[in-house]
Chains A and B, each alone.
Chain A
């Protein structure tokens, strides 16, 4: 089944403790992105990647890092999480030949 998977789905952590949210897609898509969704602010793009080893900032990149060492994986790294990064995070992917984005199920992160 073609899909985007994220892990973990739920995470509660404390300020300053490094964490990684994984994202993987099995559709051989070139483009991958990370978004966060907050009440009243909607979905905002954090980072995106156009292909392996090619990444760029979105609207709200501060406090986040990404890497794209393999085509199928696009992990989101929070080196020193803070409470304002408590949010619902989505990973998405698409092929370069189509603009239709496919989203993962989301990761709900709480930073205490």
Chain B
């Protein structure tokens, strides 16, 4: 059964820092990996989707990488801003249309 782990569970940084969020999964037979952002009490917003054949995806200050063989993905946020404060979730899509989520990293960017 696929298991997804995110480290760290919480992170607090000063504004302007570059930071890395980690996601690991146990079964490398995935179709894709998706990073989401969730604001308190709100739904999930898709940030980046990496297909299993891809190594990375970029959107603005965000860059996500995927190393399928080692079961790891990282989300890199450049020049962090207070508006980046949220919970970041990674999710892997495996056989049978199952989407398995990690527990999330709660990010606080202090002004």
Contacts and interface: CB of A to CB of B under 8 A. Distances in A.
Interface string B49-83: 10100000000000000000000000000000000
Contacts of B89: 42-43
Contacts, number: 55
B98 A45 contact: yes
Interface residues of B, number: 24
Contact of B101 (A42, A100, A108): A42
Contacts of A103: 36, 43-46
- Majority secondary structure, A binding face: strand
Interface in B17-35: 31-32, 34
Interface of B: 31-32, 34, 36, 41-46, 49, 51, 89, 91, 93, 96-104
Interface of A: 31, 33, 35, 40, 42-45, 48, 50, 56, 58-59, 90, 92, 98-106, 108
